[in-house]
Amino acid sequence: MTNASKLTCARLDSGVYATLGGLRVWAPSSRVLRAGLDEFQLGIETALIEHSSLDKVGVLFALGQLMGARINKRVVGAVLGRELRLGRVEEILCSATTNKVFRVYVGARALPCFAERLRVAREHLRRESHVRIKELRDQFFEPKPGTWTQTAHLAGRMVFDGTAIYVDKYQIAWPSGLERAFR
């Protein structure tokens, strides 16, 4: 059992806690608390190095795989919030095909790469007017699991900021009338 898996949001009678964003994270001892929080921080950092962007479910899944243990999602949320406040993780707003807004997380060190991919994808879309997400994935990533989702995050960001519209869940288009705004 890892130290991170011993952290909980439930009060422990003989434990210690740290307050992260108004949420108390409890552990049996201060050593376990420090080590568990460090494990989560390292796990989030590692997950965001392996994946250019992850939504919260993706962060939970990646941490579960990395740690090989059951993890408390409220504790992960608290640690992720701390990482955001410390500037080690950035939050990017995206639009889903259902017109709902969702958040993805990018490691601060990977943010320039994310921004460059976004710039290149916008230019590609502007030239072609329609782009399949698969085409962008093939341009930016090696073929491996999770890369379609990471590319969909780029598309969702472009839709959120108005430089693309969804044709369907597999392709995006340059919004008509936007070309005049760039002149």
In sequence order, the 6+-apart residues with CB closer than 8 A to the CB of 99 are none
Q: Terminus-to-terminus CA distance in the chain, angstroms? A: 59
- pLDDT band at 177, cuts 50/70/90? low
Please state, as a whole number, how many other Cβ atoms lie within 10 Å of the Cβ of residue 68.
10
- pLDDT band at 45, cuts 50/70/90? very high
pTM: 0.86
How far, in Å, CA of 100 to CA of 173, rounded? 18
How far, in Å, CA of 121 to CA of 172, rounded? 11
Alpha carbon of residue 131 to chain centroid: 23
